[in-house]
Amino acid sequence: MMQQDELIKLVKAYDPRADEDALRRACDFSIKAHGKQLRASGEPYVSHPFEVAGILAGMKLDSASIITALLHDTVEDTLATLAEIKEQFGDEVAKLVDGVTKLSRLELQGDQTKQAENFRKLFIAMSEDIRVLLIKLADRLHNMRTLEFVEDPERRKRIALETMEIYAPLAERMGIHRMKDELEDLAFQYTNQEAREGIVARLSFLRTGSSEIIPRIIDELSKLFKENGLKASVTGREKTPYSIWTKMKRKNVTFEQLTDIMAFRAIVENVEQCYQALGIVHAKYHVIPGRFKDYISTPKPNGYRSIHTAIIGPENYRIEIQIRTPEMHEIAELGVAAHWAYKRSETATDGHQYRWLKEILDVLQHAQKPEEFLEHTKLELFQDQVFCFTPRGEIIALPRGACPVDFAYAVHSSIGDTCVGAKVNGRIVPLRTALQNGDQVEIITSKNQTPSPTWERFVVTGRAKSKIRRFARQQQLEQFAEVGWAMLHKIIKQEGVEFSEKMLESLLEQYKAKELKDIYATIGSGELSAREVFYKLYPEHKVIQPSAAVPQAPPKEGEKAKGFEPLPVKGLIRGMAVYYARCCHPLPGDKIVGIITTGKGVTVHTKGCATLANFADTPERWIDVSWEDKGRVDMQSYPARLSITIANTPGAIGNISNTISKANGNVTSLRVANREKEFFDVFLDVEVKSTEHLNDLMAVLRSASGVNSVSRVTGR
């Protein structure tokens, strides 16, 4: 295991001004705190923080990071407290340790690989200082290097999968290729052991066939550059089994078809020499087409710069060559971590070397102000989001400021609707509490709970808002429906009619309603009158009972309702009762008008009837009516009144009666009004078919002997 002196020597080598005293105190603190704790490997636990510190020293990180690495598990796993660390090592280290501890707690929450992207975001969001992420990556790297000692195979596989899906991509995004490659290859052993073993076997077969290929090719390339007057340092390696595997999968090729099992690297002094080296290689060997990439003129988003080319090289091996400067190399290997390496050695502050860092932060941040990040080395990414856990470890991403009610609706609307309380990290909190990154949220529900309109004041997600509003609307609808039901049923009871809801269903379409409840609610809300709906159901009630309170008056004598016969009058509403006015005795052929009488029906008058003057100020009672055509009219007889003056002679009245009978009239009553010496006046009621019939009859009477005058009586 890494020893204290060895570690300090390593740090001092790249950072002579490092605080050796603080480093030693951190080593002692960690040794004391972890005491007799053991790793799964059987080693003292403290070997782990020392190794993590060593990995970070290899990346030339600052003292605060190295000290934090030494202390990173003390708060979570030992009796040591953050306050002690703050007291002994200061604010900066305490903050870093706190950050790493928070991330470690996150790891304990369930299965993250299902939502790897969210978990990565959460990690970044919770790492206020990018060094926290670097320490966490180094921590994971050492745990992966010692994963074989973890006994439970399921657990090994889960950790490996998590590494593949979360930590390796994080390392890649931060530009730390060396770490990304190693994490992936370590995880590969556990996620797909067979594939890896197959590739390893192939690789070793290749090696036995021609031992020492890599050193021989390095030699030949070095010699070539030297002959051309270029100082280059050439290295070579086999690609990792995992990168070979992904290439085989991606390009759908067999092992034999792969060109770049071996990768070589030439490091030259400056950019100009990079292109010089490329020219030398291309002049000597066959170039494999389509493999040339110039990441110097067009760097990768994470700041990576290099030239890539593939050739059929020495001894006809197909190889890949990367050409770059030492700075480019450091950035390629260390990514974000190189920032601290430069920070120390940098004296010229033109910021040129930081440009790549700006770029990577741009990529991570998707924002326009990377300067602030450089200033504080803080990762204020995903500031507009918080990531919380369900009790089962699922991640719920919410906008910043979201509360447990938002969380509940995000999980499921039924949970939101019935939510009565919430526990955050095991403690009951008010429903309006703003959630923090990494909070574990448990929603307490009750079947009897319904969404409260007051929630709308503090929820922030649109989903929660719309569900709460929808519920409020629904609730109001229920209330309106109850009121509407009561209103309609009151009328039904008053009218004493038979009613079933089936009848109301026939109106659904007309009122554009989905269900009966909607019709009741429309009545209850006042948009529709209950009586209107009632008339739609019982149209006949509308005519006879325009005002429900007035009872139907029986027809007076001589006013015979004719509603049961085919109606001779046009312009009436179906179901209307019709009466013929006694004052004017209208006859078919007369111009007529109808007068509506409340609680009774329509009385038909002749247009000349004097009685109509009584209705002059209620024009709404007048309706336009006229007689049906003759064919139907002929079937009925109508009373007409005549005033006749006849000579006072014996047998004169009998004579008139005979005359009328002959003319198909029917005398119904006769009254002598004035009897004088020579003449007397008679009022005579006759039944006739029409005015025409009456006129005929009158003409006959006038021609009869003894008749002095005949006139029709209309109006009083």
Tell me which residues are annotated as active site: 76-77
Per CB under 5 A, the segment of 71-79, 150-158, 564-572, 683-691 that binds Mn ion is: 71-79
Distance of CA 171 to CAs 25, 249, 513, Å?
A: 30, 22, 59
Which is nearer to Mn ion, 139 or 590 (by Cβ)? 139
Q: Which residue do the tokens 């470690």 mark?
A: 104
Q: Residue 481: which of 523, 439, 514 has the closest Cα?
A: 523
Minimal distance in Å, beta carbon 440 to Mn ion?
21
Per CB under 5 A, the segment of 69-77, 448-456, 511-519, 669-677 that binds Mn ion is: 69-77
Instruction: Sort 622 into a burial class: Cβ within 10 Å, 0-12 / 13-18 / 19+.
Output: middle
Q: Residue 556: which of 576, 582, 587, 577 has the closest Cα?
A: 582
Per CB under 5 A, the segment of 139-147, 510-518, 525-533, 686-694 that binds Mn ion is: 139-147
Q: Can residue 359 be called a binding residue for Mn ion (CB under 5 A)? A: no
The size of the interface with Mn ion (CB under 5 A), counted in residues, is 2
Q: Residue 155: which of 100, 116, 108, 105 has the closest Cα?
A: 108
Q: Which residue do the tokens 């090994």 mark?
A: 156
How far apart CA 10 and CA 4 sit, in angstroms, is 10
Which is nearer to Mn ion, 37 or 703 (by Cβ)? 37
**Sign of the CA dihedral with 260 first, then 265, 266, and 268 last:** positive
Per CB under 5 A, the segment of 66-74, 233-241, 369-377, 560-568 that binds Mn ion is: 66-74
DSSP structure string for 252-278: T--GGG-S-SEEEEEE-SSHHHHHHHH
Minimal distance in Å, beta carbon 136 to Mn ion?
9
Distance of CA 280 to CAs 266, 311, 326, Å?
A: 12, 12, 19
Minimal distance in Å, beta carbon 441 to Mn ion?
26
What are 213's two structure tokens?
A: 């290929």
Which is nearer to Mn ion, 131 or 196 (by Cβ)? 131
Which is nearer to Mn ion, 139 or 162 (by Cβ)? 139
Which is nearer to Mn ion, 160 or 577 (by Cβ)? 160
Minimal distance in Å, beta carbon 67 to Mn ion?
15
How far apart CA 441 and CA 429 sit, in angstroms, is 10
Minimal distance in Å, beta carbon 329 to Mn ion?
29
Residues linked to residue 593 through DSSP beta bridges, in sequence order = 605
What are 340's two structure tokens?
A: 């601290």
Minimal distance in Å, beta carbon 104 to Mn ion?
7
Q: Which residue do the tokens 């409020």 mark?
A: 472
What are 90's two structure tokens?
A: 């200061």
How far apart CA 10 and CA 23 sit, in angstroms, is 12
| Helix%, strand%, coil% for the chain, nearest 5 | 50, 15, 30
Which is nearer to Mn ion, 101 or 545 (by Cβ)? 101
Quick one: angle between helices 82-107 and 20-34, nearest 10?
70
Which is nearer to Mn ion, 77 or 333 (by Cβ)? 77
Minimal distance in Å, beta carbon 372 to Mn ion?
30
Residue whose CB is nearest to Mn ion in the complex, by number: 139
How far apart CA 188 and CA 157 sit, in angstroms, is 10
Which is nearer to Mn ion, 438 or 451 (by Cβ)? 438
Per CB under 5 A, the segment of 132-140, 171-179, 423-431, 490-498 that binds Mn ion is: 132-140
Q: Please provide residue 442's backbone torsions phi and psi, each rounded to the nearest 5 degrees.
A: -115, 125
DSSP structure string for 395-429: EEEEETT--HHHHHHHH-HHHHHTEEEEEETTEEE
Contact (CB, 8 A) for 660 and 688: no
Which is nearer to Mn ion, 50 or 188 (by Cβ)? 50
Among 73, 162, 359, 439, the residue binding Mn ion under the rule CB under 5 A is 73
SS3 632: helix
Per CB under 5 A, the segment of 28-36, 136-144, 346-354, 418-426 that binds Mn ion is: 136-144
- Long-range pairs for 20-23: beta carbons < 8 A, 24 or more residues apart: 22/63, 22/67, 22/89, 23/63, 23/66, 23/67, 23/70
What are 316's two structure tokens?
A: 């006809």
Minimal distance in Å, beta carbon 437 to Mn ion?
20
Contact (CB, 8 A) for 317 and 262: yes
Which is nearer to Mn ion, 73 or 129 (by Cβ)? 73
Minimal distance in Å, beta carbon 148 to Mn ion?
17
Per CB under 5 A, the segment of 131-139, 165-173, 325-333, 571-579 that binds Mn ion is: 131-139
Distance of CA 463 to CAs 34, 401, 416, 454, Å?
A: 47, 14, 10, 16
Q: Residue 332: which of 361, 301, 304 has the closest Cα?
A: 304
Which is nearer to Mn ion, 128 or 139 (by Cβ)? 139
Among 139, 181, 182, 320, the residue binding Mn ion under the rule CB under 5 A is 139
Minimal distance in Å, beta carbon 337 to Mn ion?
18
Q: What is the 3-state secondary structure (H, E, C) of 541-563?
A: HHHHCCCCCCCCCCCCCCCCCCC
How far apart CA 700 and CA 683 sit, in angstroms, is 17
Which is nearer to Mn ion, 144 or 280 (by Cβ)? 144
Pairing of strands 622-623, 592-597: antiparallel
Per CB under 5 A, the segment of 65-73, 370-378, 427-435, 613-621 that binds Mn ion is: 65-73
SS3 285: coil
Q: Which residue do the tokens 């049923």 mark?
A: 489
How far apart CA 3 and CA 25 sit, in angstroms, is 14
Number of DSSP helices (H) and strands (E) in the chain, helices first: 29, 21
Minimal distance in Å, beta carbon 123 to Mn ion?
15
**DSSP, res 44:** B
Minimal distance in Å, beta carbon 65 to Mn ion?
14
Per CB under 5 A, the segment of 67-75, 174-182, 564-572, 656-664 that binds Mn ion is: 67-75
Minimal distance in Å, beta carbon 15 to Mn ion?
23
Contact (CB, 8 A) for 264 and 236: yes
Which is nearer to Mn ion, 139 or 165 (by Cβ)? 139
SS3 347: coil
Residues linked to residue 622 through DSSP beta bridges, in sequence order = 595
**Where on the chain is the footprint of Mn ion (CB under 5 A)?**
73, 139
